Amino acid sequence: MIIIDISIMSINGAAMSDGEQEFLEGYDPKAFDRPSVAVDLVLMSVHERTLHALLVRRDEQPAKGKWALPGGFVRIDEELDAAAKRILKEKAHLQSAYLEQLYSFGAIGRDPRMRVISVSYFALLPEEKFAQALRSDALTLAKITTAWTGESGGPAEASTETEGRLSLAFDHADILGLAVKRLRGKLDYSDIAFELLPKQFALRELQDVHEAILGVSFNKPAFRRRMLDKGNLNPTGHREEGVTFRPAELYRFSRKGNIHG
């Protein structure tokens, strides 16, 4: 009988044989160029019935004075999700948000300093969530528009009432455009639109959110019928309060319906 004795070691929770251990001890990590990795956050909301995103004005080169998404470099000992949460607090002044990965951007020359790969994260938040962030003069909630319709894709534009069209840093117009495309694509099959609504809402408010995201107007009766036919809107028996017009019936969203995240 031949007995083979293979010694197993564990590093970072992964089993490793003697051969792998010996290889790693002699490995030169400088054998290949290592690009830097950054995280950029696309934090969107609906303000005055139009889609907006949180932007920060850069106060240093490169792209000094231009507007950018809240972002930063990933530390060598930091997980991507942990970096995103840190940047959310440090750059966007938000304590928490449900962030999902959007896409990775790695075009050569996207950053003039060095090779930088950016992992973008996306979140759709109620407007009031940005109150703390907007206390800083360096941050703004900018209107986001696209020259393209539907999900055809392309860069997006950002503007404010005071400055007009904003000059965006790096490839952040492309990142914003992809976020709009993703958002429009998810609108009909997920419950993402309800993240912008209170627990009880009027169908008019739901229509406002859809129109802001899609950049189109809907026929009110047709939209109402289509939403109710999904089977996930439950009447609450209550009506709006404190309005000057006829108070609308309020509904509550139920995940037991036909919308799946």
> The CATH number of the domain where 236 resides is what?
1.10.10.10
The reply to whether 182 falls in a domain is yes
Distant-in-sequence, close-in-space partners of 111: CB < 8 Å, separation ≥ 6:
38, 62, 170
The reply to whether 144 falls in a domain is yes
Quote the pLDDT of residue 9: 45
The reply to whether 10 falls in a domain is no
The residue out of 170, 187, 204 marking a domain boundary is 187
Quote the pLDDT of residue 17: 75
Find the CATH number of the domain harbouring 86. Answer: 3.90.79.10
Quote the pLDDT of residue 25: 84
pLDDT per 10-residue tile (average), the chain, 261 residues: 43 67 85 92 95 96 97 97 97 93 96 96 93 90 96 97 96 98 93 92 95 95 95 93 84 67 36
H-only helix segments in 91-198? 172-187
Q: How many domains does the chain have?
A: 2
Quote the pLDDT of residue 256: 59
Show the CA angle centred on residue 232, arms to residues 234 and 102, nearest 5°: 130
Q: Judge if 95 and 117 occupy the same domain.
A: yes
Range of the domain at 159: 36-187
d(CA 89, CA 54): 13
Quote the pLDDT of residue 134: 92
Distant-in-sequence, close-in-space partners of 40: CB < 8 Å, separation ≥ 6:
68, 69, 70, 71, 105, 118, 119, 120, 121, 172, 175
Q: Judge if 49 and 176 occupy the same domain.
A: yes
pTM above 0.75, yes or no: yes
